[in-house]
Amino acid sequence: MDIKNVMVIGAGQMGSGIAQVCAQSGCNVLLNDTNEGALKTGMKNIEKHLTRSVEKERITEEEKNETLNRLTASKTLDDAADCDVVIEAVIENMDVKADVFSKLDKITKKDAILATNTSSLPITEIAAVTNRPEQVIGMHFMNPVPVMKLVEVIRGLQTSDKTYETITEMAASLNKTSVEVNDFPGFVANRILMPMINEAIYTVYEGVASPEDVDTVMKLGMNHPMGPLTLADFIGLDTCLFIMEVLYEGFGDSKYRPCPLLRKYVKAGWLGKKSGRGFYQYN
């Protein structure tokens, strides 16, 4: 299947990165968001990233302009009618995602593939709200999308081989390496990463060490490029909490219980870097 037209839904940190790499690979990309401010910020961020890439001589000014010309802001899902692939990157909430997928199922052409960038929610459940579960798949990019090489490609119960192959080929055309993953809570990346982040938060909660010291232990002691609390701030504490809830509910195992301090920060609106405050403060 030739993928020319793509819509990315959700212009937040993930959606704008996904839209950027799709446009850089030559696709016509619609970036959609229900929030006009978020859409503007997302489009602006893409331009900023591309300008930085020109300054670092990774791409030419001409490539930047061509990429921007392939990108269009979209305020309505109806624009997805001509798309070959739609990649959803709205907030990590099943009701919101299910609503988007059931609308997309009615709007998009019959052979369009509907992909989700969910970090942890069941692909099979998202697919079940559509009449084309064999064309629904997980395409889990890592943050920041233009930099990170990995995409977890997650097969729902009914995802067809054809859909899997098309999306694997698309990931390769975006210069990403994909791994095939089955549909279990947290997939591979977040089943391993999130309990580590949650444990780091418990370490702070129980007064074992400060956030700075926890991060230093993991950076200098374990050779992690970034400490787990810095990483949690970067991912978004709301997203971390959503994922822990999915693991906790999905496995029914108390080892996945979200740390009360994580809940408290999210309730306070301390969502990490995107809100200016999390375990650290940001300008």
**49 part of the active site:** no
By the 8 A CB rule, do 232 and 200 touch? yes
Angle between helices 61-69 and 36-55 (to 10 degrees): 160
Q: Contacts with ligand NAD in 254-283 (CB under 6 A)?
A: 274
Strands (E), the chain: 5-9, 28-32, 71-74, 85-88, 113-116, 136-141, 150-155, 177-182
- Told to check if 91 binds ligand NAD by CB under 6 A, we report yes
Distances (CA, A) of 179 to 112, 182, 189, 208: 22, 10, 11, 36
- Told to check if 153 binds ligand NAD by CB under 6 A, we report no
**119 part of the active site:** yes
- Closer by beta carbon to ligand NAD, 160 or else 275: 275
**190 part of the active site:** yes
Task: Count the neighbouring beta carbons within 10 Å of the beta carbon of residue 148.
Answer: 13
Task: Find the shortest distance in angstroms from Cβ 192 to ligand NAD.
Answer: 14
- Told to check if 151 binds ligand NAD by CB under 6 A, we report no
For the window 209-238, what string marks contact with ligand NAD as x by the rule CB under 6 A? --------------------------xx--
For the window 29-58, what string marks contact with ligand NAD as x by the rule CB under 6 A? ---xxxx--x--------------------
- Closer by beta carbon to ligand NAD, 219 or else 274: 274
- Told to check if 83 binds ligand NAD by CB under 6 A, we report no
Angle between helices 237-251 and 189-205 (to 10 degrees): 110
Cα–Cα dist 120/243, whole Å = 6
Task: Find the shortest distance in angstroms from Cβ 60 to ligand NAD.
Answer: 28
Residue 66's Cα: distance from chain center in Å? 25
Task: Find the shortest distance in angstroms from Cβ 144 to ligand NAD.
Answer: 8
Q: Which two tokens stand for residue 102?
A: 């059931």
Cα–Cα dist 1/174, whole Å = 15
**The only residue of 14, 123, 204, 259 in contact with ligand NAD, by rule CB under 6 A:** 14
**The only residue of 84, 92, 105, 183 in contact with ligand NAD, by rule CB under 6 A:** 92
Q: Which residues contact 147 (CB under 8 A, 6 or more apart)?
A: none
**47 part of the active site:** no
Catalytic residue selected from 25, 53, 92, 152:
152
Q: Which two tokens stand for residue 185?
A: 């809570």
- Told to check if 60 binds ligand NAD by CB under 6 A, we report no
Of 73, 65, 75, give the one whose Cα is nearest residue 31. Answer: 73
- Closer by beta carbon to ligand NAD, 91 or else 208: 91
Of 166, 149, 191, give the one whose Cα is nearest residue 87. Answer: 166
- Told to check if 76 binds ligand NAD by CB under 6 A, we report no
Catalytic residue selected from 119, 120, 178, 198:
119
Task: Please identify every residue annotated as catalytic.
Answer: 119, 140, 152, 190
Which chain residues interact with ligand NAD by CB under 6 A?
A: 9-15, 32-35, 38, 89-92, 96, 100, 117-119, 140-141, 143, 235-236, 239, 274
